[in-house]
Each structure stands twice: as structure tokens, then as C-alpha cells.
Amino acid sequence: MIRVAAVGDVHVDADVVGRFRPALSDLAEHADVLLIAGDLTRHGTLEEAKCVLQEFGNLPVPVVVVLGNHDYQSDLQQEMSDLLTEGGLTVLEGTGVVLPIRDQCIGVAGVKGFGGGFPGRTAAAFGEPEMKAFALHGEVSARALELALRNLDCDIKVALTHYSPVPQTLVGEPLEIYPFLGSYRLAKAIDNAGAAFALHGHAHYGSERGRTPGGVEVRNVAHPVIGKAYSVFHLGGTGGTSTRRRLSIASRRRRPPGTVRRDQDG
Ligand SMILES: [Fe+2]
């Protein structure tokens, strides 16, 4: 059994430093890895990214993150990724990481994702170039997630995104903004690639639980939704949840080029 701690939308700035860290002091007693589902900062500045490292750097477990839309606000997303990576975090964007934990290994594939909406109300790549660009960006992001998930060689595959793959975890948000909060294409990628579990943020007023059309459990771990420093999910082990039942689907031993393997830090 692997213990996955997760949170999103921590929106760290100087005035937030110290809000999460005390609750992380005993993280290793509760979790084997910490996943952060984007919106690490408020305005995507490098000063804020340094504050993120103060809060989430040098932890006793690996920390794996995707960026969110706020982290793109200053057009410094690459510089931010580099800074966070130098600080010991693993930043995913169309990529994956495999972490051996005891006798199992967990693979996490991540993208920021994008909007586009859900069946019956989706954006189409038709008409103005701006509309085409909007729809295609979501499609490209979902394709990148599917490829990154397929390339993982591990026992348990987890999809980490900022935008939501399903509408159930958006319940509580105004219906009018659903197309800007997620895309069904992400769920399709998750189902096609045989992920066991999916985590996202972005929907601050949304709901915690959802499920893809293919039956994969989805959790919205936006900090305002979970109301605590992190939630912990137990994946793998014997018997139990549908997450565990899907492990046979997720198991692939082939390791294609480009799959990252990283040893557990503690
Ligand atoms: Fe957010």
C-alpha cells in the first residue's frame, strides 16, 4: 500500500509562508509522496516560487507537482519550473515520474491541463483562430497526459492535473464557468491509459469526489475544498476500493525510453 498525500491551489506568497509547513513536519509518518495539483503561487512570480520552496522544499518524502493557471500569470512558467526543480521538487508537464516505495512503485504523470468543457457543452476547434487555439490547447494537453501515462512503467498510475477531468468535482462552481475549469478530454486520456486514480485542483468552490466515464476515481484536492494542509489516499494493497481493483489494468512492466525513475528520499 502506498500513501499519497495531495493538495492543490496553495497559492503561496510571502504572507502564506508558515501556513502549511507546521502540518508537514510529520508528513513522512502519514504519506510516502506529496502531490501538488497546481496553482502553487498567486501570480506566477519567481519570488513566490521561492516562497513555495520554503513551504514545500526539503520534505522527507518526494514532492511532485504540476503548475496551474496562476503559475503562468507572469509568463515565467519555465523559469519557475527550473527553480522548483533545483529546489528538489519534481515538476511535471507532459511527463511522468516513477517512485519505488517499499515493494511497489507508483507512477505519476502530469499536465496542467486546460478548459474545453464536458460532453454536450464542449468547445470545438471551429471558426475564429482564437476559438481554434482554445479548443486545440485542451486537446494537445490531454494527448500529452495520455502519452505520459502510457509511458509509465509501474504498479500504480496516477494522473495529476490542475484542470478537472470530470464535472462532478466542479459541483458548487457556477455552471457558466465549467468550460473554463476542465475538459472531458482529460478523463478520456485517463481512461485510455489505464490510470488507477486522478487528482486535480483549480475548482476552489467545487466538490471532492468524482469518477471518469471509465470508472477511475477522481479527487479535487484544491486547498479550499479539502480544508486542510493535505489529504491522504491509500493506493494498492489488498482488497478494497475500485482504485485498488484497477491495479491490474494499470500494471505494465515495460519501461519505454524517457520514463523517469527516482529513488524514494525517505
Ligand atoms: Fe487556484
| Ligand 1 center–CA 134 separation, angstroms | 20
Secondary-structure breakdown of the chain: helix, strand, coil percentages, each rounded to the nearest 5: 35, 25, 40
DSSP 71: G
CA 162–ligand 1 middle distance (angstroms): 8
243 burial level (CB within 10 Å; 0-12, 13-18, 19+) = buried
The pLDDT value recorded for residue 121 is 85
CA distance 50 to 141: 27
Distance in Å, CA 158 to ligand 1 centroid: 21
Neighbours of ion ligand 1 (CB under 5 A): 9, 39
Taking the whole predicted model, whether its pTM rises above 0.85 is answered as: yes
- Distance from C-alpha of 81 to C-alpha of 71, rounded to nearest angstrom: 10
Tell me how far the alpha carbon of residue 105 lies from the centroid of ligand 1, in angstroms: 29
Answer left, alpha or beta for residue 168, where phi above 0 means left and psi between -120 and 50 means alpha: alpha
- Tens digits of per-residue pLDDT, 113-135? 999 999 988 999 999 999 999 99
Distance from C-alpha of 163 to C-alpha of 187, rounded to nearest angstrom? 11
- If residue 220 lies in a helix (H) or strand (E), which one and from where to where? strand 217-220
CA of 163 to the centre of ligand 1 (A): 10
pLDDT score for 246: 32
Given this model, what pLDDT does residue 68 score?
98
In the reported structure, the alpha carbon of residue 29 is separated from the centroid of ligand 1 by a whole-number distance in angstroms of 28
Q: What is the pLDDT of residue 247?
A: 30
| Below-70 pLDDT ranges, the chain | 237-266
pLDDT of residue 253: 31
In this prediction, residue 120 carries a pLDDT of 84
- pLDDT for the residue numbered 237: 65
Domains identified in the chain and CATH numbers: 2-261 (3.60.21.10)
SS3 22: helix
Q: How far is the CA of 95 from the centre of ligand 1 (A)?
A: 22
